[in-house]
Structure 1
Amino acid sequence: MSVPAGQHTVRRHNLALVLGEVAGPEPLSRAAVAARTGLTRGTVSSLVEELIAAGLVTELAAARGGPGRPASPLRLDPRGPAGLGLEVGVDTVGACVVDLTGAVRAQRTVVSDHRDDDPDAALARLTALADDLVAETGLPIAGATVALPGVVGPAGVLERAPNLPRWVDVAVGDALSTRLHGLPVRAGNEADLAALAERWAGGPSDAVVVSGGIGVGAGILLDGALFAGGGGRAGEIGHVVVEPDGQACHCGGRGCLETVAGLEALAAGRPEAVGAAGRALGIALTGAVHLLDVPAVVLGGSYPGCGPPLLDAVRAELTARVFSRAGVEVRFSTLGPEAALRGAATAVVQGVLADPGALIVRA
């Protein structure tokens, strides 16, 4: 049975409404926020005071010189609760702090090989790195998201990572939350978070965003939202078979895209290896484009470092194979290998902006 919204629910909705206006491209006064939202000036003023007390909004000095009483513009407070992004790669750990305005305040990635590593040891190194960055920025942290190189189930458990054989059914978010003194930590697939970062940076709303590394994953964007599939497994393009009689893959299969287009295949940087990777990517992406009807493909992770030969090979395959009249836009990501880390931190900030009341209640 549905129930009517209570006073607290309405206030929480209105907090998000006001913060959304303040987060816009231009500073607004309280009166301007009231005009845009339809709320009374008294209500807006009360909500703004609550947002200021929570460290989410700051009020700038009023401009002088005009007639009448000058209005004080509002903006997001860059000193307020920030987002912490974390990443466990196959051979790295990383951390990133993004403030409420979307600015990266600190970011660092260090070598940490996890192929035969115990998860606890890796999470201890990641925690130490996170503590260092948080101390460096001096910002309060609203929460964290950790990017992982494998299948992350709806409960936030890393169910399987083909390149990390000892990481099976690991509750990474819960383990990190305990290590980080109870900070809320959500877990997500690194390719999915990289795709969200691409979208938040102004990228296409409908696209397959491929993250190339030792493993190969993809995030799928449809109407600007991430499509993760029923079990969080959508986008595992690295294990699409492109050579049925090809090399054995870490997943136990044979001829997977990852065996041709992963970093281990590209390590020598030979032109023929880059060309083969581009052709294999084009074949795998043809199926994705035909199934999803997306107009754009973005190649991220380590792929931009391969340069135009890889891009040209992918474009050639898609041009030859996809029967869309409009064609498919294919380009490199501008975010680099740290896209998943940026997406993880920004996901926390986006959550705060969407529902500041949840943060205020928790505080």
Structure 2
Amino acid sequence: MTQPAAVPVGAAVSAVRQASLREHNLALVLRQIAAADRPPSRAGLAAATGLTRATVSALVDDLIAGRLLTEVAPTPRSGAGRPAVGLTLAGHGPAGLGLEINVDYLAAVLVDLAGTVRHRAVRRVDLRPVPPVEALALVGDLITEAGAEADRQDLTLAGTALAVPGLVTATGLVRLAPNLGWRDVDVPALLGTHPGLGGRGLGVDNEANLAALGELHAAPPGSANFIYISGEVGIGAGIVLHGTLFRGARGWSGEIGHVPVHPEGRPCRCGGRGCLEQYAGQEAILARAGLTDPAAVDAGRADSPPTAPVPGAAVTRLVAAATRDEPAAERALVEAATALGVAVAGVINLLDVDTVVLGGVYAPLARWLAPTVEAEIRRRVLTAAWSPVTVRPALLGGDAAALGAAGSVVRTVLEHPARWLGRPSR
């Protein structure tokens, strides 16, 4: 019987290591270009990475063929020699689609590899009385619209992520979204086969977590420890520690909206009493400012039926009223900021973050909210006297969750380009 040919010891391992080395080098080159202040040349990349010029040239050719990089006109040189051709992230290759479903709106953002927003859509709709299947069908319409826009702009959808205001498992199951009235909704099963996703599946995560990730990558270097507060009808938080999103043991951290600030206070839709969102949520603020019927705040309570959504224009009117120093608006914002400061101070005492980022509807209201939140922090945080805490508006504004979702897709391509290169370009 003929024996099979012997395989040299270490041959299989060497092959694996060679493939891993190429994957590493592809990512190294791509990250170097993504982080550069100006388009680097092949020679510049070789000098910066320590790779040979031949290796860099081969990697760059692969990345260009995969529509991840593009060549740009060389920058003029003052010295002798021909100017080198620059390299930049391709604006016509893969793109990430970020979606958000919230209590009173839907949003979609399409972002290219360089982080440029290529398409944005927002739909105002009250989703509280809408069954999950119907709500996700509306999200599907946004996917179809974004896919058509991607085709028009010669972009390839690299993936899609959906932000949801609730407790989301690693498999995309929404265990609980109290303000939507959702419980155990399998979002990937209901939406993951949508033809507009191109067979690439659907990622699902908590909206505050995705917004915090977006803020992390938009913020200047050194912004590694912060709590992102997403103020909408409900209130969520994304916690970033040492540059990493803190998810908790089961991935459900950040439900600051259901931290009680008045233990025997108003009933909440979650089943508790005195939750933060009953005092600092969007509808609570607008009701106290006299910009919506006071009964509208009851939409989030356990003992009241859902009401019509608060239009986005109401927040604009609140900003205008606060700018005019109208007493009702000022009182509403101080009361909300006080409750928010109480909850945030507890988080800071526990986690020792140095920055509070006000997102969602809190971003345009930060001018009025931040002073009172800061005062509560100084009053309640033990270390505030020696280590002041910064309170600032979100850099990404109201699009933070959808942008964070789209950015999570784009970063996957940038971090693992070899996976993308193994796919068809269109």
Query: Which of the five TM-score ranges fits, normalised by the shorter chain?
Result: over 0.9
Is this contact kept in 1: 2:60–2:69, CA < 8 A?
Answer: yes
Q: Which moved more, 1:204-213 or 1:31-40?
A: 31-40
Is this contact kept in 2: 1:156–1:187, CA < 8 A?
Answer: yes
* CA offsets 1:228-281 (integer angstroms, 9 cap, x no match): 111111111011111011000111011111111111211232333322211111
Corresponding residue number in structure 1 for 2:239:
220
Please state how far the C-alpha of 1:287 moved relative to its aligned partner: 0.9
Letter in 1 for 2:264: D
Is this contact kept in 1: 2:364–2:393, CA < 8 A?
Answer: no
> What secondary structure does 1:178 align onto?
coil
Corresponding residue number in structure 1 for 2:120:
107
Matched, 1:352 2:419: no
> What secondary structure does 1:272 align onto?
helix
> What secondary structure does 2:109 align onto?
strand
- How many Å separate the matches in 2 of 1:307 and 1:22? 35
**Structure 1 segment 337-348 matched on structure 2, within 5 A:** 337-348=398-409
Corresponding residue number in structure 2 for 1:78:
91
Please state how far the C-alpha of 1:174 moved relative to its aligned partner: 4.5
Please state how far the C-alpha of 1:334 moved relative to its aligned partner: 3.4
Is this contact kept in 2: 1:146–1:173, CA < 8 A?
Answer: no
> What secondary structure does 1:267 align onto?
helix
Please state how far the C-alpha of 1:282 moved relative to its aligned partner: 0.8
Corresponding residue number in structure 2 for 1:256:
275
Percent identity between matched residues is: 47
Corresponding residue number in structure 1 for 2:336:
277
**Structure 1 segment 1-363 matched on structure 2, within 5 A:** 5-24=16-35, 25-63=37-75, 67-137=80-150, 138=153, 139-165=155-181, 167-179=182-194, 180-202=197-219, 204-268=223-287, 269=289, 270=328, 271-324=330-383, 325-363=386-424
- How many Å separate the matches in 2 of 1:235 and 1:196? 13
Query: Given the superposition, is the C-alpha separation of residues 261 and 63 from structure 1 closer, same or farther in structure 2, using an over 3 Å criterion?
Result: closer
Is this contact kept in 1: 2:218–2:395, CA < 8 A?
Answer: no
Letter in 1 for 2:187: V
Please state how far the C-alpha of 1:71 moved relative to its aligned partner: 1.8
- How many Å separate the matches in 1 of 2:352 and 2:366? 26
Structure 2 gap segments, 5+ residues each: 1-12, 290-327
Q: Which moved more, 1:122-131 or 1:169-178?
A: 169-178
Is this contact kept in 2: 1:174–1:185, CA < 8 A?
Answer: no
Q: Which moved more, 1:260-269 or 1:14-23?
A: 260-269
Letter in 2 for 1:100: L
* CA offsets 1:99-136 (integer angstroms, 9 cap, x no match): 11111111111012221212221122112122213322
* CA offsets 1:124-181 (integer angstroms, 9 cap, x no match): 211212221332242211111111100111222211101121x222232453331134
Is this contact kept in 1: 2:225–2:241, CA < 8 A?
Answer: yes
- How many Å separate the matches in 2 of 1:79 and 1:264? 41
Structure 1 gap segments, 5+ residues each: none
Letter in 1 for 2:358: L
Greater Rg by CA: 2
> What secondary structure does 1:249 align onto?
coil
- For normalisation by structure 2, the TM-score amounts to 0.81
Q: Which moved more, 1:171-180 or 1:191-200?
A: 171-180
Letter in 2 for 1:311: A
Letter in 1 for 2:201: P
Letter in 1 for 2:19: H
Please state how far the C-alpha of 1:303 moved relative to its aligned partner: 1.2
Letter in 2 for 1:162: P
Is this contact kept in 2: 1:112–1:122, CA < 8 A?
Answer: no
- How many Å separate the matches in 1 of 2:333 and 2:76? 60
- For normalisation by structure 1, the TM-score amounts to 0.94
Is this contact kept in 1: 2:219–2:395, CA < 8 A?
Answer: no
Is this contact kept in 2: 1:242–1:257, CA < 8 A?
Answer: yes
Query: Given the superposition, is the C-alpha separation of residues 63 and 291 from structure 1 closer, same or farther in structure 2, using an over 3 Å criterion?
Result: closer
Please state how far the C-alpha of 1:200 moved relative to its aligned partner: 1.5
Is this contact kept in 2: 1:29–1:72, CA < 8 A?
Answer: yes
Is this contact kept in 1: 2:358–2:366, CA < 8 A?
Answer: no
Letter in 1 for 2:394: S
Please state how far the C-alpha of 1:64 moved relative to its aligned partner: 6.1
Query: Given the superposition, is the C-alpha separation of residues 307 and 294 from structure 1 closer, same or farther in structure 2, using an over 3 Å criterion?
Result: closer
- How many Å separate the matches in 1 of 2:415 and 2:402? 20
Q: Which moved more, 1:49-58 or 1:68-77?
A: 68-77
> What secondary structure does 1:320 align onto?
helix
RMSD (CA atoms): 1.7
- How many Å separate the matches in 2 of 1:54 and 1:362? 9
